[in-house]
Structures are given as structure tokens and as C-alpha cells.
Amino acid sequence: MFKYDKKLPYPIDIKNKDIKMAKYIITQFGGANGELSASLRYFSQKFSMPTEEGKALLNDIATEELGHQEMVATMVTQLLKGASIKELEENGLSSQYTEHGYGVFPTDSFGVPWTASYIANVGEPLANLMEDMAAEQKARVTYEHLIDLAKDEDVIQPLLFLRQREVVHFNRFKELYEKYKREGIK
């Protein structure tokens, strides 16, 4: 059962328009290493976890990733607020505008739409957990790259929060992986 808490996991209040940064950040909404991929990966994998602890962990992190997806969409929306069509064109978002207006759509920073091929689920708990740890590391690195590109503290602080959550998720998956290995669970 899911319960929606009508607040973001971390407050976002970006005051300055930055179309280029919005274009970069959208990759964490619909890119291969983004939040949509993570939430669906973990949610689908939970069904093949051999213990209730494993199912609960994957479900909890999948749910948290949905909250992160909402944060990323909020950031993109605020960064685009007041952008003219000319500014969108100058920053390579005219195709995005053509298809979706100012709406947020799951793509990477190149405009490539999200695809289910971004998620992995082989039905084997240890392999899936290794994939999950790698996914969290790739997301962490992507957030670090975004932080390097960002110039506005209103953008940097939520990115730092999201980066830190990737580290926490990695550690939780690693703990479960190590427990399953110790107990001979495959």
C-alpha cells in the first residue's frame, strides 16, 4: 500500500531560470540512470526476493525513488519557469517543446525517451542486488556531474540531498547482498 505525503522529501525553491540546467537535470527523470528507472527496477525485483526483509527493502527504496522523481520534475519545472520559446530553441529544447510544451516528460538530457530496457531484473536475488548497487553508483556519479555543472545553491542543495540518498541506497543493498551471501541465499 502506498501513501502519498503531499510534500517533497527535500524542499525545492529555485528562483532563477536556467534552461540549460533543466535540460541536464531531466536525465535524472527519464534517463537510463534516473529515478524512473530505479523505482521500476526495484519495484519489479521485489517479487523475486526470497525474504520479507528483501521484499520490504526493495519496495521501500522503490517508493522513495518515486519521491525523488517528483523532486527532479519540480526542479526542471522551476528551472524552466518563464522560459520563452526562443530560449528553449537556443538551448536545444525545441523538440521537447513541440511534443510536450512545458510539461515534464521522461527523457535523458539528449531527449531520448525512457525505455523499459533501462531496467534489469533477472529474477535471481544476488544478481539483482549487484545490479542495484551498480545502478545506485551510476546515479550518484550522475548527480555529482550535475552538481559540477550547477552554479545556483538553490539547485545544488537538492542535488546534494539526492546524491546522498544514492549512497544510502547503495549501502542498504550491499548489506542485504552480504546477508544473503552469508546465509547461502541465492
Q: What are phi and psi of 175, to 5 degrees?
A: -60, -45
Is 34 a member of any domain? yes
- Which strand (E) or helix (H) includes residue 21? helix 19-25
CATH of the domain at 75: 1.20.1260.10
Residue 35 resides in a domain:
yes
Residue 29 lies in a domain: yes
SS3 151: coil
Q: Count up the domains in the chain and report the number.
A: 1
Is 134 part of a structural domain of the chain? yes
Pick from 42, 32, 31: which is nearest to 65 by CA?
A: 42
For 132-166, how does the pLDDT look when each residue is reduced to its tens digit (9 = 90+)? 999 999 999 999 999 999 999 999 999 999 999 99
Contact 17, 88 (CB under 8 A): no
Residue 4 lies in a domain: no
**How far is it, in rounded angstroms, from Cα 124 to Cα 88?**
44
Average pLDDT over residues 6-33: 97
Is residue 7, in this structure, part of any structural domain at all?
no
- pLDDT tens-digit series, residues 61-91: 999 999 999 999 999 999 999 999 999 999 9
**pTM listed for this prediction:** 0.96
Domain that holds residue 106: 19-110+120-182
